[in-house]
Amino acid sequence: MISEDQILNARILIVDDDRVGVKLLDEIIRKAGFKNVRTTTNSTEAIALFEEIQPDLLILDLWMPELTGFDIMAKLATAYPDRFLPIVVLSHDADQQIHYQALESGAKDFLNKPYDRVEVMIRFRNVIEAHLLHLQVHQHNKMLEDQVAERTRQLSDAQLDVITRLARAIEYRDSETGFHIIRMSRFSACLAHAVGVSELECDQILRAAPLHDIGKIGIPDSILQKPGALTDDEWTMMKSHTTIGAELLSGSQSEFMEVARTIALTHHEKWDGSGYPRGLKGEEIPLVGRICGLCDVFDALVTARPYKGAWGLDQTLDEIRKGRGKHFDPALTDTFVDILPEILEIHQKYNDAQEN
């Protein structure tokens, strides 16, 4: 509802080249209790004033030198295509065709000069009220949209949080640190972005990559934590973490889960076909698998693990370059080297040392 106070505080703009007419109208309106009235007799000022004041009522003379009321309405309609324009046109024209034309051009009402003082104020109030109601609905919709956006963001943060914790639970058994999965998923999103993957997909990669090793939940501790070399059978079992992970993540309707499934299944495939579980070659390996595979290896090499010290950056990069076209997609390898400063920044930010 619109209160009387809101109506009387409405912003009103009068544009009419007839000085006497403007003065008279201004008086009538102020006498009726309205406080915010601006006037101009110069039609060329109308648009700028409209923009400045954002009036709840524009009283517009039709026939003025330079810009006519029609010109002004046309400009406003172009500038504010989705807006309710609270325009009342004033004119001496008795011609019905002109009335129609004015109403079709965006005027909400049409008044003939000379006008009846009582009637004119009722009509002004009606247009003001309609405009204020329109603004109210618009603000309400905007508030609802903001609330939905905020709730969506919260849900999405909660999803990332749950995924990261779930992934950490798995990696703990594997003597990884929690920061490995954060780093490798951020490297992956960064690399994906650099090769032109869409924002939405980069975000999906960021959220899905932490689950790349979730299949390790199905691998016994005796294998996962074995200090020495694995036997052939143990190695076969170890490799099945890819298919177990894909199995765990399959069957969902969600696009995100499908990305997670693909990453879990293909992050150990190699460009030359020597990877597992399916020995896919080149672009047979889904892009997300190639991206996450590279970033997973890079982080494993450059970070200290209980069974190995951290490799220096040069040594790590040598190893990555050596894998170009063998283990890794050559184009991705090149881009990865190009964006190394960004990668190192992420590595620095999510350093293991923070965990202790």
- Note the residues at the interface with Fe ion (CB under 5 A): 213, 296
Instruction: Write down the least CB distance from residue 324 to Fe ion, Å.
Output: 20
Give least dist CB 244 to Fe ion, A.
11
Contact (CB, 8 A) for 124 and 59: yes
Q: Which is nearer to Fe ion, 139 or 236 (CB)?
A: 236
Residue in 119, 206, 187 with CA at minimum distance from that of residue 332: 187
Please identify, using beta-carbon distances, which residue of 129 and 296 lies nearer to Fe ion.
296
Residue with Cβ nearer Fe ion (106 or 289): 289
- Please tell me the distance from the alpha carbon of residue 207 to that of residue 66, in angstroms, as a whole number: 60
What type of residue is 121?
M
Compute φ and ψ for 5, nearest 5 degrees: -60, -45
Residue 37 or 292 with smaller CB distance to Fe ion: 292
**Considering beta carbons, is residue 55 or 178 the nearer one to Fe ion?**
178
DSSP string of 18-46, one letter each residue: -HHHHHHHHHHHHHTT--EEEEES-GGGH
Compute the least distance from the CB of residue 283 to Fe ion, in Å.
Answer: 21
Residue 109 or 296: which CB sits closer to Fe ion?
296
Residue 306 CB, shortest distance to Fe ion, in Å, is: 15
- Closest separation in Å from C-beta 261 to Fe ion: 14
Token pair of 306, please? Answer: 């209980």
Cβ 250 to Fe ion shortest distance, Å: 17
Position 22: which residue type? V
**CA-to-CA distance for 176 and 306, rounded, in angstroms?**
9
Cis peptide before 330 (omega within 30 of 0): no
320/323 Cα distance (integer angstroms): 5
